[in-house]
């Protein structure tokens, strides 16, 4: 099934333009048009009253419709996106955002990747309680205002940011007291519209939804470039782990699809694996969280590793013999990745490769496993998976990456900055530069980084 079938089902459109329904619900849903949609109706009302401005998805964003749990059609913008980065991904799993950018460059999509944003700060809140809903709302609205100001549509990289932002949106729409509390702060920051309105995006969109919406184009790229390199994922057994904060927080606002487990599982991540032709395997604890726990991964690690090993890794390894666990959130990836080795101490070692959907998809489409997908950072055993996928030259590719790192380190140690700059000029040309909100390309994506100034 391609996009055309979905397009033909765009039936009723609400007066404000935010709600879209198929003529018939695509799969059995309870109260199919009655549950979460009031939020969107209220957004329209608040906009009409001049309280908020809806940052709308337009044609230039090349939206793709996807079904959510209630049958509502959510528009996923695929172009002209403002990357709301994830502190966990950028800080700890750089191949994760790099793979997203790699795809966007491959597809020739327009995007903005800039420093004028904070993380959502919700990990801190869930872990330590040292924030409050007004602060969380202010941080979110500040970041969303920045996206709106640049003319690019926000794409949220992190699962927790996505969940927190969906929840914050609902709280803001439903509670005048929260809107009243946050408005003076935004005014002080210069983060209201000229006529004093809060900017709220039409849809809050997670990167996994973008991958989901782009799955057929990714599959085409796989056929065209991945297979040509001898890569074949058809014999790879894939276990999907959906992140709690993507689909358990504001559960109705995440993709479900009749072709993915009959609409009984979240569709993102699974659908792209199916489109690539990998073998998606189901397992009994699919519903469980990873054990991350926010504060637990730092301060109660015995819980995190016990849960990760006993409830997920062991089950996935023994029950379905998966080659890889596919995730779509930093916390889950880190938890599964980093809590395997310790299992050896108790004879509970279940070595399964772990990576995000976009990292796996990039590998399938021929991205460099170390330079782009950055598997060098992974603690799980990804090597057998690479062999199975047909990426048998991974040793040479790893050496190429290691030599590059060594070369950079030596030049920096010797203080040969001019030489380093020259190297990066060529090296960065590997992919087009990302742009800043001024619209001007950076002279060199790397040369301007603060590393060189310290």
Partner 1 sequence: MEGHPYGYNIPISEKTKAVPWEEKVRVIEEVKSDFRFKEYLFGCLNCGVCTASCPSNRFFDYSPREIVQRFLEEDVEVLYDMMHEYIWACSQCFTCWIRCPFVNNPGGLVAIMREVAVRNAFEATKDLLKPYGRVLLKVMTTGNQLSADMLQPDFFPDWGPKMADNMENLRAKRMAIPFDVGKSVKTAWEVSLETAIEMYTIWRETGIFEMLEKLDPNLYNVIMDIVEENEERYQELYAEEE
Q: Please, which residue, 80 or 166, has the CB nearer to partner 1?
A: 166
Six-digit token pair at 341?
A: 């080795």
Evaluate whether 97 touches 83 at the Cβ level (below 8 Å): yes
Stretch that binds partner 1, among 5-13, 168-176, 234-242, 389-397 (CB under 8 A): 168-176
Task: Figure out which of the listed residues 20, 404, 419, 421 binds partner 1, where binding follows CB under 8 A.
Answer: 404
Per-residue binder mask for partner 1 (CB under 8 A), 288-327, x = binder: xx-xxxxxx-xx-x-x-xxx---x----------------
Between residue 10 and residue 49, which ones bind partner 1 under the rule CB under 8 A? Answer: none
Verify binding: residue 129, partner 1, rule CB under 8 A: yes
**Residue 434 engages partner 1 in binding (rule: CB under 8 A):** yes
Q: Is 439 in the site for partner 1 (CB under 8 A)?
A: no
- Supply the minimum distance, in Å, between the C-beta of residue 173 and partner 1: 12
Q: Of residues 68, 78, 86, 327, which one binds partner 1 by CB under 8 A?
A: 86
- In the set 67, 125, 162, 283, which binds partner 1 (CB under 8 A)? 125
Of residues 190 through 219, those in contact with partner 1 by CB under 8 A are 191
- Degrees, nearest 5: CA angle 326-154-32: 70
Closest to partner 1 by CB, 86 vs 202, is 86
Q: Binding partner 1 by CB under 8 A: which of 139, 156, 354, 386?
A: 139
Among 223, 59, 277, 52, which Cα is nearest to 153's? Answer: 59
6 C-beta neighbours (distance < 10 Å), count? 18
Would you say how long the chain is, in residues? 454
Under rule CB under 8 A, residue 121 binds partner 1: yes
The CA distance from 199 to 182, in Å, is 12
Which segment (14-22, 43-51, 113-121, 220-228) binds partner 1 by CB under 8 A? 113-121
438 binds partner 1 (CB under 8 A): no
Beta bridge partners of 49: none
The answer to whether residue 251 forms part of the interface with partner 1 (CB under 8 A) is yes
Alpha helices in 308-416 (DSSP H): 314-319, 330-338, 357-364, 383-389, 394-413
CB-based contact 153:213 (threshold 8 Å): no
For residues 122 and 331, the answer to whether their CB atoms sit within 8 Å is no
DSSP letter string, 177-215: HHHHHHHHHHHHHT-S-TTSPEEEESS--BHHHHHHHTH
Cα torsion 305, 269, 209, 255: sign: negative
Q: Which of 42, 109, 135, 348 binds partner 1 (CB under 8 A)?
A: 135
> Cβ neighbours of residue 279 under 8 Å, at least 6 residues apart?
234, 235, 236, 237, 238
Query: What's the gap between Cα 86 and its chain centre?
Result: 8
174 touches partner 1 (CB under 8 A): yes
Among 2, 15, 115, 415, binds partner 1 (CB under 8 A): 115
* Closer to partner 1 by Cβ: residue 116 or 217: 116
Pick 339 or 356: Cβ nearer partner 1:
339
């Amino acid at each position: 099934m391609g996009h055309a079938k979905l397009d033909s089902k765009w039936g009723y459109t609400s007066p404000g333009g935010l709600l879209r329904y198929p003529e018939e619900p695509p799969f059995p849903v309870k109260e199919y048009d009655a549950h979460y949609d009031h939020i969107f109706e209220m957004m329209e009302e608040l906009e009409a009253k001049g309280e908020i401005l809806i940052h709308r998805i337009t044609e230039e964003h090349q939206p793709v419709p996807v079904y959510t749990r209630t049958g509502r059609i959510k528009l996923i913008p695929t172009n002209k996106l403002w990357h709301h980065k994830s502190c966990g991904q950028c800080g700890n799993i750089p191949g994760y955002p790099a793979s997203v950018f790699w795809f966007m460059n491959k597809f020739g999509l327009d995007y903005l990747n800039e420093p004028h944003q904070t993380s959502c700060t919700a990990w801190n809140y869930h872990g330590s309680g040292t924030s409050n809903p007004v602060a969380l709302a202010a941080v979110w609205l500040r970041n969303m205002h920045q996206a709106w100001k640049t003319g690019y549509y926000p794409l949220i990289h992190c699962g927790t940011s996505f969940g927190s932002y969906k929840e914050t949106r609902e709280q803001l729409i439903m509670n005048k007291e929260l809107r009243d509390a946050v408005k003076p702060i935004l005014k002080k920051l210069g983060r209201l519209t000229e006529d004093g309105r809060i900017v709220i995006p039409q849809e809050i969109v997670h990167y996994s939804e973008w991958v989901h919406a782009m799955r057929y184009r990714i599959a085409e790229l796989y056929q065209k470039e991945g297979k040509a390199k001898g890569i074949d994922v058809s014999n790879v057994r894939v276990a999907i782990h959906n992140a709690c904060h993507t689909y358990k927080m504001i559960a109705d606002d995440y993709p479900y699809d009749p072709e993915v487990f009959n609409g009984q599982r979240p569709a993102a991540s699974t659908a792209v694996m199916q489109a690539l032709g990998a073998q998606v395997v189901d397992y009994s604890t699919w519903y469980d969280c990873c054990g991350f726990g926010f504060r637990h991964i730092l301060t109660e690690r015995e819980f995190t590793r016990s849960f990760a090993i006993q409830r997920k890794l062991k089950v996935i390894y023994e029950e379905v013999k998966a080659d890889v666990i596919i995730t779509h959130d930093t916390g889950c990836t880190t938890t599964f990745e980093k809590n395997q080795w310790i299992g050896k101490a108790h004879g509970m070692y279940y070595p399964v490769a772990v990576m995000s959907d976009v990292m796996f998809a990039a590998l399938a489409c021929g991205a460099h496993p170390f330079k782009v997908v950055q598997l060098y950072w992974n603690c799980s055993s990804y090597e057998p998976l690479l062999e199975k996928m047909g990426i048998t030259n991974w040793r040479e590719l790893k050496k190429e990456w290691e030599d590059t790192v060594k070369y950079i380190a030596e030049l920096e140690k010797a203080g040969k900055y001019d030489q380093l700059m020259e190297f990066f000029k060529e090296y960065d040309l590997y992919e087009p530069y990302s742009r800043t909100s001024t619209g001007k390309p950076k002279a060199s994506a790397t040369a301007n980084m603060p590393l060189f100034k310290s």
